[in-house]
């Protein structure tokens, strides 16, 4: 079995950091991730700088980003204006081959995060996906609040499957299921995947994205892997959160994921010690220790 790790550290990981990270540090971070063996690295987002100031340098970052052979560098685009900026960057500098859109499974989060209703979000995404596909880009979709919403409470798996199916039907090649506030358990994972299968969505179209608020991210990942999921989102050092959901804590740490997968004999192509060195380097810049348990353990010998 082979698992693809979709590294979100440079985007989802850094977006909620209070310390402004210089663009040259971001470039070095991305370079180190590729050197460690990661082949999909979400580099940045073309969200409006007002909402996520940390990623205001997206165009500058991509203009001089070191790109390793065989590595993809997706960028998040929130709407058509974000797509315009991504396409302009691709025209000037090349290298933008993949984008991602970010939807919501709940009404409240759609309004707070997208300034749209649950229904009208699809009207916003449809032209983004259509234009991106016409430009030869691959499009991935995230759907957030797949297990629970801090305002609405538990979310029915069938509701998530309906939203996810519609995002896939727009033309997205893959859907990442986000436990945005980290409350899911392995039982919830099974129920959610059952709902997608009942909706006619093959599990080969799905990825998982867990936050570790209650310490369940690895257990949830293992549950998904046992169902046949082969794409897992993770953030080196476990950094990240969600600026629009204050109860969201850090992402599943890439090092913790790789350690578990190595122990299972699952191929990833990623060097966990190289990642740990990078996490220690970044933690020093951010001014706080890495929350990754594997990084903490390996720090004693690195």
Catalytically annotated residues: 242
Q: What angle do CA 286, 288, 290 make, to 5 degrees?
A: 100
Quick one: which of 283, 266, 263 has its CA closest to 275?
A: 283
The closest alpha carbon to 181, from 116, 109, 110, 125, belongs to 109
* CA 147 remoteness from chain centre: 16
What Å distances lie between residue 220 and 152, 215, 247, CA to CA? Answer: 22, 10, 19
Q: Helices 272-286 and 23-35 meet at what angle, rounded to 10?
A: 170
Letter string b/e over residues 59-88, b meaning 16 or more CB atoms within 10 A of that residue's CB: eebbeebebeeebbbbbbbbbeebbebbbe
**Number of residues written out for the chain:** 302
- Chain Cα centroid distance, residue 84: 21
């Amino acid at each position: 079995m082979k698992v693809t790790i979709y590294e979100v550290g440079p985007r989802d990981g850094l977006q909620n950091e209070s310390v402004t990270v210089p663009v040259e540090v971001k470039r070095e971070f991305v370079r180190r991730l590729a050197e460690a063996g990661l082949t999909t690295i979400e580099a940045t987002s073309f969200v409006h700088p007002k909402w996520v100031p940390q990623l205001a340098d997206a165009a500058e970052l991509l203009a001089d980003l070191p790109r390793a052979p065989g590595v993809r560098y997706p960028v998040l685009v929130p709407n058509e204006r974000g797509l315009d900026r991504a396409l302009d960057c691709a025209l000037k500098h090349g290298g933008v081959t993949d984008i991602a859109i970010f939807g919501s499974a709940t009404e409240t989060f759609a309004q707070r995060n997208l300034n749209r209703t649950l229904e009208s979000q699809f009207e916003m995404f449809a032209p983004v996906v259509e234009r991106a596909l016409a430009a030869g880009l691959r499009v991935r979709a995230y759907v957030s609040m797949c297990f629970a919403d801090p305002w609405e409470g538990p979310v029915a798996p069938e509701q998530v499957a309906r939203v996810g199916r519609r995002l896939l039907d727009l033309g997205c090649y893959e859907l990442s299921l986000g436990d945005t506030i980290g409350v899911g358990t392995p039982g919830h994972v099974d129920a959610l995947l059952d709902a997608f299968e009942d909706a006619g969505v093959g599990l080969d179209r799905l990825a998982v994205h867990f936050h570790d608020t209650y310490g369940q991210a690895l257990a949830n990942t293992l549950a998904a892997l046992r169902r046949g999921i082969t794409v897992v989102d993770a953030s080196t050092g476990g950094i990240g959160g969600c600026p629009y959901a204050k109860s969201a804590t850090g992402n599943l740490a890439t090092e913790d994921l790789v350690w578990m997968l190595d122990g299972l004999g699952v191929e990833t192509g990623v060097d966990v010690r190289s990642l740990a060195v990078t996490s220690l380097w970044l933690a020093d810049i951010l001014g706080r220790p890495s929350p990754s348990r594997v990084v903490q353990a390996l720090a004693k010998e690195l």
